[in-house]
Every structure is written in structure tokens, then in C-alpha cells.
Chains A and B, each alone.
Chain A
Amino acid sequence: MSGVWVWIENRDGAISIIGSETISAARTIADSLGQTVTGLVLGHDVAGVADEAFDLGVDAVIGCDDASLAHFRVEAFGPLVTRLAQENTPSVLLAGASIRGRDLMAWVAADLDAGLISDGIGIAVDGDTIKVTRPVYAGKLMATVFVTEGPQVITLRSRAFPQAESTGKSGTAQWVEPAVAEEAVPSKITGLETKDEGVSLSDASIIVSGGRGVGGPEGFEPVRELAEVLGGAVGASRAAVDAGWIAYEHQVGQTGKTVSPDLYIANGISGAIQHQAGMRTSKIIVAVNKDADAPIFKLAHFGIVGDLFQLLPAITSEFRKRLGK
């Protein structure tokens, strides 16, 4: 049993951000173990993805290029990765903890009868074992967990690891046949609707959020303007979502998304423990709130006590000036 395998998530012929982050984590683990990194490039028209994977530092690529893999379906991808893992017996299998990565690794771990760890945000190599740090109890506690025997199947959260950098290396991929013929895949994708409304919360390096204090749907306007100037995403607390001021997909917190941006600006958010669970790993937290006793100030690095409707436009205009926008 040897080798660190990484499933390289890709879309529209390019490696996704989370795919690149997973490659960098794989590189770190493999270097500590003294093993090689093998990238799994699965999809349709993915020759370019294999080249990109070599450039980002994988030592080998096993690829499968087939129309049945054009869109991710776990019933097509799962049996293929399981078969390849059975033939090659890697010691570690990594994927991003994206919706697809979670499905794939849960499938593969079940079929390999392997230990599975999800949502890693930190890794440390101890002998042959990967110690994985992950939040539990909805981010209220942390755990360091590890697989005790056999292949270690692990998913890693987005933005927890740096993206892999270009190495200028190239290589020749080993191309294999799919495991399941299209006719035998028990599900069909009949529609895809992609939304393009700017930066997604989980990928965003800057998030500007609004809570109860924004007062209504129109109160999100200054929040959006600041996010736009910073090239960031718009977040919200549960209170604002429940009030119907903004769509649920913007919700940050225990029953929303967990985010970890470089900069999180909380506006009119008191900072209930459920909200903190979703954003406490942000690198720098700024709080703008009328209430000087709001719990968010205990978590924040910088705070301004005051009226967000005066402060946000002032901050936006200051950034516009500095960034030349």
C-alpha cells in the first residue's frame, strides 16, 4: 500500500479551485510520507486537465476520458475509482469536501471497506498516519481524527489549504477505460442550470455579510456595494434570511454555509453562537454594529460601534478611492 491519490475536481476543461487546493495538500502529505502523488483526472475532453495537473505538481496521472463522465455522477465515477484503488492500493485517497467529492469518497470508502474522514481543515503526518483536524458539533468543538488501518480516505474543506502553484513540469498520463458503460449507469442528468451571480460563498476570499441590523431587503444594498468593490461575496445571518430579506444560499452559520475567507465583514450581525460556527475560522473579522455589547465583538479583530448605514458607504467609498475603482 503506497501512494497518495488525489481526485482532481475539474469543470469546463480546467481544474477547480478546490481541486488545486487538494493537490497542494496531497503534495504536502506525500512529501512527509516519502511517497508520490497520483492525480485522478476523470471527465470528458480532459487531456488539458491532465497537463494542468502535472504542471501543478502531481507525479503521475491516471485519467479516464469518456462521454459517460462528462457530468459527475457518482454511479459512474465511484466504481471506476474503486476499481483503480483495488488494482493499485494507494495508502491515501484525497478529494475536496465539495458536494461531488463527498459523494465520491463516501462511495469509494464504503466499497473499499476503508476508514473515511470528511471536512478536514488541517493535516499533520505522524508516521504513516494522517492526523486530520476537523470541526465537529457544527463548529462548536474541534477533533483530531485518523484512520486506524487500511487506506485513509479523506475529504478536505475548501479554502483550508493553499492552491497548488505552477511547477512547469509535464508528464504522460495513463489513460484507462470507464468502469461502467453509459447504459448501465442507473441515473441520467436531464437538466443543468448554472447560475452566474458572482463569487460563491465557499470560494470567496472576502465576504461582506448583513444581519438583523440591516433592517430590510433594501438594507442589503450597501452590503452588496461593498462586496462588489472588494470582489467578494455577500453573506447573511439566519435572522436576515428568515425575515425573507435575502435568499438562503447566502446564509452563513450552523444551518447555512461554513466559510473561511481572508476577510469577513459582519454588519448588523450580533454574532449568535450558530453564526460564529459558520465563520469563526475567517482570517480577519471586522464587526460593524450599533450595540457595543454584541457578542460579535468578542470574535472580531476590528470593530466599529455605530450606524452601518453611515459607516458602510464611507468604507465603500474609501476602498473605491484606494483601489482606483
Chain B
Amino acid sequence: MRVVVCTKQTPSTTAVITVDAEGKVSWDDPGGKPNVVNPWDEYGIEEGIRLKENHGATDVIALSVGGEDSKEALKTSLAMGCTEAVLVSDESMVGSDTLGTARILAAAINKLGDVQIALFGKQAIDGDTGQTAVQAARKLGWTPLTFVSAIKEVGDGSIVVERMLEEGKEIISAQLPVVISVVKEINEPRYPSFMGIRKASRAQIPSWSAADLAIDGGIGAGASKVDWSQVYGIPPREGSVEIIEADTAEEQARILVDKLFEEKVI
């Protein structure tokens, strides 16, 4: 059984993100690495490695779409324990909407061949759409299973998973192949081992182009049906905090409760 983990390189969670007047976004992380594996994807990577350790997956292939620098994030996947990594990178793909990205991923998964499970994090922390997994499933013709919190059984052409819903949990069985998006509850991602990091640093990661994937259209900014040109900072909150001071906690409580009734939020 071959497993693919779709990952994305994103700004780190601690990155300071700024946007200029033209809507161009940039970021830096003075205290750490500005670019990381999308934090939600770490759960997908970990689950892929566990499918190898516990359910007989033969290959766990990390797949990413992005610029050449995305190979850094793929090296993290390799250091954690993925057996292979592939980057899909092509100027013609820049500016794809979620459906364009889904087309690229589906084509790459088909090219990898014989894949039974494609894992995704629940969303990327930059675009935050969380829609690519289902759309990739449609382009592959596979069953999407989203918000998965546990893989219960894998075998004999089928899979049983637990999903987290707003009001509880659902156990669902489906025929393979499937696309799975995972939530944080599913596991605790491991840290890359020292040996893993050394191995990953020497790895040669192949880079596939649109021509390699034989994609004819439906990708890139030209095919995107969503205009993303207006990105801006959040206007700072007007006014400043009103600090409530009094001699006793009881008095402070009384003043605060008065204010909250005045604001009509109770």
C-alpha cells in the first residue's frame, strides 16, 4: 500500500506577517525559521508514517506544490520518516485557486501510481481555505473523509475512520482509495530524529513540472476563478482598554458587571 501526504510550506505560527499597500504579503520570524511545514500537515505526515509502522504501508510519499524553496519543508517530512518526497513546481501553477491546486495534486498522485490513501492536514495556515482535500478527491474520483481523528482499521480494500463533527464523533467505513484530512486529535507528531535529519539533508528531491504531469489547463492565475488581490492588515481596534480599579475584588466585579450589562452582551 502506497500513501501520499500532501503538504505545504507556510509561514511559521510565530511569524510576523505584514502586507504592503499593493496587497503583497511578506513575513519574517526573528526568533525562528520563517517558513515551516504547515503545522496542520505535521499530523498528516505523522499519520502516514504510522500507516507504515502499523498498517503495512510500503511507501509514504510527501508531496508539495510550490517554489523550489518548498524543498525545505519536504526535507522536514523526510527527516520525520517519509520514505520519499516530490515537489511539483512550475511557473504556470502560480496563483492557482483551490480547484487548480486540487487538479495539480490529483495529477501528481496519479503519476505516483498505486496510491491507496492521500493524507492532508485540515487546512493550511496561510490561505486557510481547508477545501483542497475534498476538491482533490473529486479530481481523483476518490471518497473524501475529512476531519478524521482516528484511523481505526485499514485492510482488504476498505478503511474505517473516526471523524470529529461539531456535535460529536462519527465512525465511517469507506472503500479505498480515499482522501483523508486529519485533525490535531489524531496523533502527536514526532520530532525529526538526528539520523533522519542527516539523511534528509542529503536527499535529492525530484521536481515535476506541469508538462511532467501532462496537465492541460485549469491551473494557475489565468484559470483561477477567485480574485485574491485585496489582502490587508486588520485595522487596529479603536479606543484603548478601560482598566477597572477599585479597593476590593467585589467592587471591581460590580463595576465590570455594570459595564457588561450596559454593553448589552449579557
CB of A88 closer than 8 Å to a CB of B = no
Interface secondary structure of B, over-half rule: mixed
With known contacts A109-B135, A254-B125, A141–B17 Cβ distance under 8 A: yes
Chain A residues near B266 (CB-CB < 8 A):
206, 230, 263, 319, 323
Interface size on A, residues (CB 8 A): 88
CB of A176 closer than 8 Å to a CB of B = no
With known contacts A107-B144, A148-B226, A248–B166 Cβ distance under 8 A: no
The A-B contact count (CB < 8 A) is 237
With known contacts A136-B126, A262-B265, A315-B253, A141–B167 Cβ distance under 8 A: no
B243 touches A304 (CB 8 A): yes
Interface secondary structure of A, over-half rule: mixed
B184 to A, closest residue via Cβ: A248
With known contacts A106-B134, A254-B125, A188–B17 Cβ distance under 8 A: no
Interface code A291-302, partner B: CB below 8 Å = 1, 0 otherwise?
Answer: 010000111111
B259 touches A302 (CB 8 A): yes
A142 touches B232 (CB 8 A): yes
B244 touches A119 (CB 8 A): no
B130 touches A118 (CB 8 A): yes
Chain B residues near A306 (CB-CB < 8 A):
249, 252
A284 to B224, CA, bound (A): 38
What is B's interface to A at a CB cutoff of 8 Å? 11, 13-14, 17, 19, 25, 39-40, 97-99, 102, 125-131, 133-135, 138-139, 143-147, 160, 163-175, 184-185, 218, 224-228, 230-234, 237, 239-245, 249-250, 252-254, 256-257, 259-261, 263, 265-266
Closest 8 A/B residue pairs (Cβ): A115-B225, A191-B171, A106-B134, A314-B253, A194-B168, A110-B138, A187-B174, A263-B265
What is A's interface to B at a CB cutoff of 8 Å? 11, 71, 73-75, 98-100, 102-103, 105-107, 109-111, 113-119, 134-150, 186-195, 200, 202, 205-206, 230, 248, 254-255, 262-263, 273-274, 280, 283-284, 286-287, 292, 297-307, 310-311, 314-315, 317-319, 322-323
